[in-house]
Amino acid sequence: MNLSITKRFFISLFLTFPLLVEMILMPLGWSLPGHNLIAFLLTTLIMLLSAQPFWRSAWSASKKHHANMDTLVAVGTATAYFYSIYAMLFHQPVYFESAAVVTTFVLLGQVFEERMRKQAANATEKLLKLQAKSALVWRAGQYITLPLAEIQINDQVKVLPGEKVPIDGVVIDGHSSIDESSITGESLPIEKQVDDPVIGATINTNGTLIIKVTKTQNETMLQQIVDVVKKAQVSRAPIQKLTDKVSDVFVPIVLIIAIITFLAWYLALHLPVGQSLSYSVAVIVIACPCALGLATPTALMVGTGRSAKMGILIKNGDVLEIAENIKTVVFDKTGTITQGQPLVTDVFGSNKNSIIQLAASLEQLSEHPLAKAIFNAGHDAKITTLPVNNFQSLTGIGAQGMIQDHSIVLGNNQILSSDTKISNDFIQKTVQLEAEAKTIVYLSVDAVVIGIIAIQDIPKTSSKAAIAMLKSRGIKTVMLTGDNQGVAKNIGQSVGIDQVIANVLPTEKAETIIQLQKSGTVAFVGDGINDAPALTTADLGIAMGSGSDIAIDSGDIVLVKNDLQDVTRAIEISQKTFHKIKANLFWAFIYNIIGIPIAAGVFTNSGLTLSPELAGLAMAFSSISVVFNSLLLNETRIQ
């Protein structure tokens, strides 16, 4: 008969109640009519309906030459039950109530554990509840409401103001602001227009959007987050393997102590068999390592759930122990420390608006990344571009064309002819900007340089603070890049990196990580396809959520918000979760070490004893205390 833990508990409680009443009223001279027979019948029902799973579990473990926490419960209750049958037949005192009450208290502890486990696992359920149930999908010339499961890639979906974006896609019409805080943690709404990607389960705040679906329901970012969290929650931290080995040794030792306890009281101290067994059963019950078994999985479940809410996906339990010993964090440069795309940083000339307008007008026809940076600068400055005639792209040099009957030339120093005039001010400014590792673009009108534009892949706004946070924790920071020494040194200095390693080929990144590992445990933070070997080689791989799929697959941790400060937070939550596991294990062992001699009757002369019933209650509360301690991770302050 497969009954739930809750049903088994209430059955056991109902049948134990008369025995409990008798235990309370017995000092007043009251006992159940036909005490022994009633106690036998009630306890037999409890053993068959409520305690049977303990016995089955203990038997299965014994067939594999192992012992588990159920072994102690099964041996303890069976000893009390079968001895009482023997005692009843030979008219001696019985201990049926011990077997019944211990079973009830153990089940009470399991009911609380089950409820707390559900509470700890709520993170994934809450994440899934973020998802919309249905969407307005374009079918047969009109928008109709369909469940998400029926939406296919390339379907056209309408998202009204105030509604959740139902599924991942790209905007093909409309303009709006999207609140992505539920997925990425970004506090400010993000402006979305045509060609911008949108994430399912985020909230469309003001405008109507038409999106083209790019992911099915099972492939969305939200579903990927849920999958990663579930995988981490069922993974086993290395310390759990140690716990399993300890349990294998611990249970036989407890059984030996219980036998010695019985023999000592019965043979050496000449106590009756029943009372001697009572001490022995108390030892078995108090030593039940339920708390030991809960110490790691509950902390892991709460820790990974908390980190997921912060936009930090921890893929497995191994990460926790590694994060504890991190000595060096190595960063990729492009896309990790920097924005990953060139931006205009300086415009030098007498009329900056005119310089940007002419340059953006010319570059609007080019696909080069530097041209895009200049065009975006004009767009951001809300400058209207001018028509261009005779446009010509000069590969590796720049571009030229006619604007309002003037010859406009834009590019590096190779585009300047010997007839081009350039003032000393521009030459001196060029020297200064090049010293800052910036790329210089000259703008000339009718063979006269009127301005220079400096372009650079600038650091992210969070990079400097992130590096400072790591250094404050005593962690060395290193930047690894294929860029030249000048550019790398400039970027490294601007964000406060301890060591810069430049001119590293993609194939050499993993080898460099191996060299750094000689000085201690190394974490690598990257986002590109070429970072995958380093992410895998490092002791701890941290992938940026905006990175390539292969980088995300290679990382042990994924930073969904792409905020470098989350590197420190990821290490901190991992360390605190690992510390919580160690604290749980410490208290579980201490509890057993203190409880066993009391239960064995070592302190009986001092009046300190523990009956099997109280031992069962104490054991149940020890398990609850471990789960409660793990849940406190939800309240722990993270920097």
Q: Which long-range contacts (CB under 8 A, 24 or more apart) does 217-222 make?
A: 217/148, 217/149, 217/151, 217/167, 219/168, 220/131, 220/167, 220/168, 221/168, 221/183, 221/560, 222/127, 222/128, 222/130, 222/131, 222/183
d(C-alpha 547, C-alpha 535), whole Å:
12
Task: Compute the C-alpha angle 11/610/607, nearest 5°.
Answer: 150
Q: What would the DSSP string read from start to end of 152-169? A: -TT-EEEE-TTSBP-S-E
C-alpha 298, offset from chain centre:
14
Hunting for tokens 């905020």 — which residue is that? 563
Task: Compute the C-alpha angle 336/341/345, nearest 5°.
Answer: 110
332 is catalytic: yes
d(C-alpha 627, C-alpha 621), whole Å:
10
C-alpha 117, offset from chain centre:
17
d(C-alpha 360, C-alpha 352), whole Å:
12
User: Which residues make Cβ contacts (< 8 Å) with residue 291, sequence separation at least 6?
Assistant: 584, 587, 588, 591, 619, 622, 623, 625, 626
Hunting for tokens 């990607």 — which residue is that? 197
Beta-bridged to residue 338, according to DSSP, are 459
User: Which residues make Cβ contacts (< 8 Å) with residue 26, sequence separation at least 6?
Assistant: none
C-alpha 585, offset from chain centre:
22
Cβ proximity of 335 and 545 under 8 Å: no
Q: What would the DSSP string read from start to end of 377-412? A: HHHHTTPPP---EEEEEETTTEEEEEETTEEEEEES
d(C-alpha 432, C-alpha 411), whole Å:
18
Q: Which of 332, 539, 556, 566 is catalytic?
A: 332
Cβ proximity of 145 and 136 under 8 Å: yes
Crossing angle between the packed helical segments 96-120 and 5-25, to the nearest 10 degrees: 140
Instruction: Read off the tokens for 598.
Output: 């009391």
Task: Compute the C-alpha angle 125/126/129, nearest 5°.
Answer: 90
The neighbour count for residue 407, using CB atoms within 10 Å, is 13
- What are the catalytic residues? 332
